[in-house]
Amino acid sequence: MKSPLRPRRARGLLAIGATTGLVLGALTAMPAAGAATAAGCAVTYTTNSWQGGFTANISIKNLGDPIKGWTLGFAFPNSGQKVGYGWSATYSQTGAAVTAKNLDYNGSLATGASTNIGFNGSWNGSNPAPTSFTLNGVTCTGSATPKPTVTPTVTPKPTATPTATPKPTATPTATPKPTATPTVTPKPTATPTAAPGTGTPLAINGPLHVCGVDLCNQYNRPIQLRGMSTHGIQWFSRCYNDSSLNALASDWKADLFRVSMYVQEQGYETNPAAFTDLVNKYVDMAEARGLYSIIDFHTLTPGDPNYNLARAKTFFASVAARNAGKKGVIYEIANEPNGVSWASIKSYAEQVIPVIRAADPDAVIIVGTRGWSSLGVSDGSNESEIVNNPVNAKNIMYAFHFYAASHKDNYRSTLSQAAAKLPVFVSEFGTVSASGDGAVDVASTTAWLDLMDRLKISYANWTYSDAGEGSAAFKAGTCSGGVYTGTGVLTQSGALIRDRIRTADNFPTS
């Protein structure tokens, strides 16, 4: 969002190094016209870095009185650090000084409420974390929350204090963390309770197609595929072998294996023939186990897919010709477009899709969307731009990516709205922040899974690997040990997702 979605991330999901800085703010009393106004904040700033670039994720917590509208300020320690594409805020930079202003949906922060924002940036020389932050001009300087109502006792008219100080900050207790809205989830996990068909997902459903807004099987019935995405195959090929694919099919009882082939970041562009062969190998391995596969042309940096248009045409002409006879191949033509308009993404799609169709006229194709495949929400837009100007092609779906700790109610609302108008495929999501790292947000992840189950939206979780990130399904070192079954080798994220994927599929056959 990876978009903020990896928005990655969402991404820079595959960071080579990580830097973390934590600054927690103290409260400062700001008297005004007879009433005490408390102000203060806590800011957590974390980064995933790679050579010359980084993803920054920022959590802002309001420790003062409720605010409507905020501006976060900070300065980079190194003049070579620059803000690039950002999400969940409007960013500007003058010299080393950076400001981030709220968007419409996250401008109101009650006492104790938090919001998450982030951006992708570049660096030259070094990439240290900022050491000081301000929120609406108030410096965040400590980790305590020393009762903003203590300072107002220095009021000139102490005789008025019994009535004038009815603890103004007590009211915000009525806003207990708006992010706890997983009440929207009436536990629709009851859907996958029985599978009318028998056999592997591929054997039951056969070739897939898009019908209306749904992904449908050979019986023209809507289905939901649930599975896992690889990490970058240039880094984690050790994780994808007969044993790990057997575990995915038999122990996880998954339906889907997404093969993420990075184009840059030491990927396809370095050796097109070798990476094409590796992708085909993984497709064959998935098919042999009755799994569907997604061939993911994993564009990340730069974010404009047209930069890789010639490479995309070459790659997809090759893999489509080679895999056209298979029933279970889905093509994802641009992972997470970012910093680019929907018109440009649409133009790219309408040039690449005919290349695939020339060899494989019926396969399902997933088209990336604006704002790190957030349907535009990470850019302050929504699905309407696609609804009003759809890609001119049949049998296509639109990608939606999210990371549960960073993307919550407004993203879920967008997906719900979009799913009523567009065929949507969640080809990547994480249980953690948009960087691909951090703690698992169980409540938000559960809300997302329940929503996708209820709407029959297919998904692939990031990531089936032992990467040193919170999003990894396996504990570090698992891929070197060769044992992939059971829960002992799983991280918290892996155990949570495996438990959900293992519930019985519902694949109607009549």
pLDDT tens sequence across 90-122: 899 999 999 999 987 678 888 888 887 878 788
Amino acid sitting at position 410: N
Q: Is the pLDDT of residue 432 over 90?
A: yes
pLDDT tens sequence across 284-333: 999 999 999 999 999 999 999 999 999 999 999 999 999 999 999 999 99
Q: What is the band of 197 on the pLDDT scale with cuts at 50, 70, 90?
A: low
Q: Do 116 and 58 meet the contact criterion of CB atoms below 8 Å apart?
A: yes
> What's the average model confidence in pLDDT over 426-444?
96
What percent of the chain lies above the pLDDT cut of 70? Answer: 80
**Which architecture does CATH list for 8-143?**
Sandwich (2.60)
* Residue 143, pLDDT score: 52
**Residue 193 burial (10 A CB sphere; 0-12, 13-18, 19+):** exposed
What are the domain boundaries of the chain?
8-143, 199-501
Give the CA distances from residue 287 to residues 284, 323, 332, 357, 497, in Å, rounded to whole numbers and listed in that order. Answer: 5, 11, 17, 21, 22
Alpha helices per DSSP H over 249-388:
272-288, 309-323, 342-359, 370-373, 384-388
Q: What is the band of 157 on the pLDDT scale with cuts at 50, 70, 90?
A: very low
Q: Is the pLDDT of residue 253 over 80?
A: yes
pLDDT tens sequence across 388-407: 999 999 999 999 999 999 99
Cα dihedral sign, 379-384-389-394: positive
Q: Which residues are catalytic?
A: 336, 428
Q: What is the gyration radius of the CA atoms in the chain, in angstroms?
A: 24
φ, ψ for residue 455, nearest 5 deg: -90, 0
CATH number of 199-501: 3.20.20.80
Mean pLDDT across the chain, nearest whole number?
84
Strand partners, 30: 37
Q: Measure the CA–CA gap between 329 and 319, rounded to whole angstroms.
A: 10
